[in-house]
Amino acid sequence: MKKRQLGKSDLYVSELGLGCMSLGTDAKKAEEIIEAALEAGINYFDTADLYDFGTNEQIVGQALRHVRDKVIIATKAGNRWNDNKDSWSWDPSKKYIKEAVKASLSRLGTDYIDLYQLHGGTIEDPIDETIEAFEELKKEGFIRFYGISSIRPNVIREYVNKSNLVSVMIQYSILDRRPEEEVLPLLEKNGIGAVTRGPLAKGILSDKMLEKASEKGYLDFQLEELQETIPLLREKLSHTRSMTEIALQYNLADSAVSSVIAGASSVQQIKENVKAIMANPLSEDELSIIKSITKMSLYEQHR
């Protein structure tokens, strides 16, 4: 599998990364999925301290222990569970981040984290303080590089201007093209890697298509619009491509994108995603068709 440089870092990540949130808490099953990912050439594994109260990090760390020096482990911090573990609060403070990283290192069973990410953020955060925490963690050797996971253009712009982040994880798909206007050009201009999540739009862009659509639609697509748009995409694009292939290749077509993160709850799902990512890139004609059929929206509420 091809690898791309993550921003200006010396991390080279597989074009397909495994989003570990959907692995579940059955360690044996999760390890089978991770092993299938490794066999396919995936070297980038994304988790977070929030997932399953930290159990996800434990499972991922254990499964990757035998190949630790050959893989890139990314995790996230900033959300802290309450004592009852029925809700969490946002805490991007330096004090909390420096505590959280040590807990993540312990659960992952490793001495360092390749990519440590802020798991959200708002413009009201103490951004300078958060950056200071990440910079100190780098100097102390706990993390190699840092980034943020955010869809807020104003927040992303602050970190781009003030910090040495190497990546931004952002939701991006054929049905969510908002990053194309403000975020992806900004990242490319500044040599920062985009890591995209949600490429299948909750399964609507997989081969199950409208079976996965909810009555609420998806973002600013009403259900009726999806019922028109999805079959039209299928009809207009090559019948030799699966919807999963079209969706993942659309993300890879943007030169700002370093890796596409997709979850998997089975070995079969890994194989389907790998097949899609290894396919031929979309042609200019195919990209034009997709853009003519789908919406180009802007971020409104999340700034």
Q: Which of 44, 51, 96, 218 is catalytic?
A: 51
pLDDT digits (tens, 9 = 90+) for 81-128: 677 677 778 888 999 999 999 999 999 999 999 999 998 888 999 999
51 is a catalytic site residue:
yes
CB neighbour list of residue 238: distance below 8 Å, 6 or more residues apart: 286
* Ordered alpha helix ranges (H), the chain: 27-39, 55-64, 94-108, 127-139, 153-162, 179-189, 223-236, 243-252, 267-277, 284-293
Contact 1, 37 (CB under 8 A): no
| Separation in Å, CA 245 to CA 14, 66, 150, 166 | 16, 31, 25, 27
Class of domain 3-203+246-282: alpha beta
pLDDT digits (tens, 9 = 90+) for 255-295: 999 999 999 999 999 999 999 999 999 999 999 999 999 98
* Phi and psi torsions of 298, nearest 5°: -115, 160
pTM over 0.95: no
Contact 96, 49 (CB under 8 A): no
pLDDT digits (tens, 9 = 90+) for 109-121: 999 999 999 988 8
Tokens of 209: 């298509």
Q: Of 293, 300, 289, which Cα lies nearest the Cα of 178?
A: 300
